[in-house]
Amino acid sequence: MITAIFKREFASYFRTPLAYVILAVFLLLASGCCFFIGRFFESNTASLEPFFVFLPWLFLFLVPAVGMRLWAEERRGGTLELLFTLPITPVQAVLGKFLAGWAFLALAVALTFPLALTVAYLGSPDWGVIVGSYAGGILLSGTCLAIASLMSALTKNQVIAFVLGFAVCLGFVLVGFSLLSDLLNGWGLPVALVDAIANFGFIPHYESITRGLIDLRSVVYFLSLTGFALFLNVVALER
Amino acid sequence: MIEVQNLRKDFGPTHAVDGVSFRVNRGEILGFLGPNGAGKSTTMKMITGFLPPTAGTARVDGLDVRVDPVGVKRRIGYLPESSPSYPEMTVDEFLGFIAAVRFPGDAAAQAGAVERALGLCFLGDVRRQPIETLSKGYKQRVGFAQAVLHNPPVLVLDEPTDGLDPNQKREVRRIIAGMAQEKAIILSTHILEEVEALCTRVIIIARGRVVCDETPAALRARHPEGRLDEVFRELTLGPAAA
Between CA A2 and CA B20, with CA B185 as vertex, the angle to 5 degrees is 95
Quick one: how far is CA A112 from the chain centroid? 15
Query: Which stretches within chain A are classed as H helix?
Result: 2-15, 18-32, 40-43, 49-67, 69-77, 79-83, 90-110, 113-122, 127-153, 158-175, 178-186, 191-198, 202-210, 216-238
- b/e B46-74 (16+ beta carbons within 10 angstroms → b): bbbbbbebeebbbbbbebebeeebebbbb
| pTM, 2 dp | 0.91
SS3 percent helix, strand, coil of chain B, rounded to 5, is 45, 25, 30
In Å, what is the CA distance from A187 to each residue of A174, A194, A196, A197, B217? 17, 10, 16, 14, 82
- For A109, counting Cβ atoms within 10 Å of its Cβ (0-12 exposed, 13-18 middle, 19+ buried), the class is buried
Confidence (pLDDT) at A167: 95
Cβ neighbours of residue A76 closer than 8 Å, sequence gap 6 or more: A156, A157, A158
Cβ neighbours of residue B17 closer than 8 Å, sequence gap 6 or more: B7, B8, B9, B39, B42, B43, B46, B53, B208
Cα–Cα distance for residue pair A51/B221, rounded to 1 Å? 80
Query: Domain segments of chain A: what residues?
Result: 2-238
- φ and ψ of B81, to 5 deg: -55, 140
Beta-carbon separation of B101 and A16 below 8 A:
no
- Closest residue to B74, CB basis, from A15, A79, A87: A87
Beta-carbon separation of B104 and A78 below 8 A:
no
Q: Considering only CA atoms, which of A17, B145, B180 is closest in space to residue B137?
A: B145
- Closest residue to A8, CB basis, from B48, B84, B97: B97
Do B186 and B155 meet the contact criterion of CB atoms below 8 Å apart? Answer: yes
Q: Which of B44, B94, B101 is the best residue to mutate to test the A interface, defined by the most A CB atoms within 10 Å of its own CB?
A: B101
- φ and ψ of A201, to 5 deg: -85, 165
Residues of B whose CB is below 8 A from A86: 73, 98, 101-102
Domains of chain B: 2-241 (3.40.50.300)
How large is the average pLDDT for residues A111-122? 87
User: CB distance from B70 to chain A under 8 Å?
Assistant: yes
Confidence (pLDDT) at A195: 77
Residue-wise pLDDT tens digits, B81-108: 988 999 999 999 999 999 999 999 899 9
Confidence (pLDDT) at A69: 93
Q: Considering only CA atoms, which of A169, A152, A164 is closest in space to residue A232?
A: A152
Residue-wise pLDDT tens digits, A175-222: 877 677 777 777 777 777 777 777 788 888 888 888 777 788 889 999
Do A56 and A173 meet the contact criterion of CB atoms below 8 Å apart? Answer: yes
Do B83 and B140 meet the contact criterion of CB atoms below 8 Å apart? Answer: yes
Position B32, amino acid: F
Q: Which of A10, A15, A85, A235 is the best residue to mutate to test the B interface, defined by the most B CB atoms within 10 Å of its own CB?
A: A85
- Closest residue to B50, CB basis, from A1, A84, A88: A84
Strands (E), B106-165: 154-158
Beta-carbon separation of B104 and A1 below 8 A:
yes
The residue of chain A with its CA nearest to that of B49 is A85
In Å, what is the CA distance from B137 to each residue of A103, B73, B172? 36, 26, 10
| pLDDT tens, chain B, 242 aa long | 899 999 999 998 888 999 899 999 999 999 999 888 888 999 999 999 999 999 999 999 999 999 999 999 999 999 999 889 999 999 999 999 999 999 998 999 999 999 999 998 889 999 999 999 999 889 989 999 999 999 999 999 999 888 788 888 888 888 888 888 889 999 998 888 888 888 999 999 988 889 889 888 888 888 888 788 888 888 888 755 44
Nearest CA distance, A135 vs chain B (angstrom)? 31
Q: What is the largest CA-CA distance in chain A?
A: 58
Confidence (pLDDT) at A149: 97
Cα–Cα distance for residue pair A178/B100, rounded to 1 Å? 49
The three-state secondary structure class of B204 is strand
pLDDT band at A224 (very low <50, low <70, confident <90, very high): very high
Residues of A whose CB is below 8 A from B88: 12, 15-16
Residues of B whose CB is below 8 A from A81: 45, 50, 80, 84
In Å, what is the CA distance from A106 to each residue of A137, A141, B10, B21? 9, 8, 44, 51
Cα–Cα distance for residue pair B190/B32, rounded to 1 Å? 9
User: H helices then E strands: how many in chain B?
Assistant: 9, 10
- Closest residue to A4, CB basis, from B70, B86, B104: B104
**Strand-pair partners of B55:** B8
Cα–Cα distance for residue pair B163/B178, rounded to 1 Å? 21
Could you give the strand order of the β-sheet that contains B29-33, starting from the edge strand earlier in sequence?
B76-79, B154-158, B184-188, B29-33, B201-206, B209-214
Residue-wise pLDDT tens digits, A28-59: 998 888 777 767 777 767 677 888 888 999 99
- Closest residue to A87, CB basis, from B70, B87, B93: B70
pLDDT band at A108 (very low <50, low <70, confident <90, very high): very high
